[in-house]
Amino acid sequence: MKKIIIFFLLIIAITGNSEIIKEKKILRKETMELILVCHEKIQSDFENIDLSPSGIEAVKQLGEKMKKNYSFDIAYTSNLKIANRTLNYILDEMNELEIPINKSETLNTITRKDLDGKNVFESLKSYWKSDISKNLKDGKNVLIVTDEDTIRILIKYLLDMSDRDIQNVYIPIDNTFYFEVDKNLEVIRAGFPIPPKFPEWIDEF
């Protein structure tokens, strides 16, 4: 199952196709949505900077588009200002500022100069198993706002991808990566971006 999704992810990385990938049809009430949002790039955790004016506008537009078709029960982000501001702008546009927000250093920007890749992977996997996955299993839709490299590791873990394959997957900045999972956390479909095409608009097969 995951190999099929990975194959299409690699095709999208090459062709730039923005359609959501679908693997099989399952009733939405039996599945949860996990959406990963990549904030603007920064050099390291030590550069605790704010969003740029263009970044603010891009995030507001993203939140407005997401508002039309999505709703979240809980959100996760890092301790960095840029991640928190990105999340707040999105939730404000969606009128969902009241949902619980979990902040963790585990989701801080990964700098390869400071951290060993294996340790980062294990840390994120542990955080996923001990916290994030439990909310998905409880039937909650989850939003995560973090940096490109952290998202790349999460995708690698969720789709059981090799180091080589994950490097070929495009991670859109100020945009989204979509997962639909069942209560066993099996990935039903995955892709990017959300706007302007909502998954239900893709033909079933």
Q: Which domain holds residue 100?
A: 2-201
* Percent of the chain whose predicted confidence (pLDDT) is above 90: 30
Q: Is the dihedral angle over the CA atoms 189, 193, 194, 196 positive or is it negative?
A: negative
Alpha-carbon distance 111 to 115, whole Å?
A: 6
Residue range 137-163, pLDDT digits in tens: 999 999 999 988 888 889 888 888 888
Domain count, the chain: 1
Q: What pLDDT shows up at residue 195?
A: 44
Q: Which residue has the higher pLDDT, 185 or 21?
A: 185
Q: What pLDDT shows up at residue 53?
A: 87
Q: What pLDDT shows up at residue 199?
A: 40
Between the CA of residue 123 and those of 120, 139, 157, 160, what are the distances in Å?
Answer: 5, 24, 12, 16
Q: Which residue has the higher pLDDT, 11 or 33?
A: 33
Q: Is the dihedral angle over the CA atoms 78, 81, 87, 92 positive or is it negative?
A: positive
Mean of per-residue pLDDT scores for the chain:
76
Question: Looking at 8-12, 123-127, 166-170, 189-193, which range is the least confident one?
Answer: 8-12
Residue range 28-60, pLDDT digits in tens: 458 999 999 988 766 555 557 788 888 899 899
Q: How confident is the model at residue 90 (pLDDT cuts 50, 70, 90)?
A: very high
Between the CA of residue 21 and those of 71, 81, 138, what are the distances in Å?
Answer: 20, 32, 24
* Percent of the chain whose predicted confidence (pLDDT) is above 70: 69
Q: What pLDDT shows up at residue 2?
A: 52
**pTM (2 d.p.):** 0.78
Alpha-carbon distance 30 to 124, whole Å?
A: 26
Q: Return the CATH number at 6.
A: 3.40.50.1240
Q: What pLDDT shows up at residue 85?
A: 93
State the residue for tokens 């963790």.
104
Question: Do the beta carbons of residue 177 and residue 69 sit within 8 Å?
Answer: no
